[in-house]
Amino acid sequence: MTGLWQVSGRSDVDYETRVYLDAWYVKNWSMWNDIAILFKTIGVVLKKMVHTKSIVPTLFERNNIRNKERNYSDKVS
């Protein structure tokens, strides 16, 4: 589920702005606004996935790092 404030900054948006955006949405509802929010949601999700992928290693990558660390410590000891 998505909404105007969720795609306008989500947790960076303060409470008053959330209320304002929700009220604006109710007053200006249209199918076109919903479609715009839907496309903006897709953009936000894709951007988040790319950003997360580049910063946070996957479980597979973390396991490889741990295995390399173990192998190194076994060789040193």
Query: pLDDT tens-digit profile of 24-77?
Result: 999 999 999 999 989 988 888 887 766 655 555 566 666 676 777 777 666 665
Contacts of 66-70 spanning 24+ positions with Cβ under 8 A: none
- pLDDT for 57: 58
- Residue, of 22 and 67, whose pLDDT is higher: 22
* Helices marked H in the chain: 15-27, 31-55, 59-76
Query: pLDDT tens-digit profile of 3-19?
Result: 887 888 777 888 898 88
- pLDDT for 73: 66
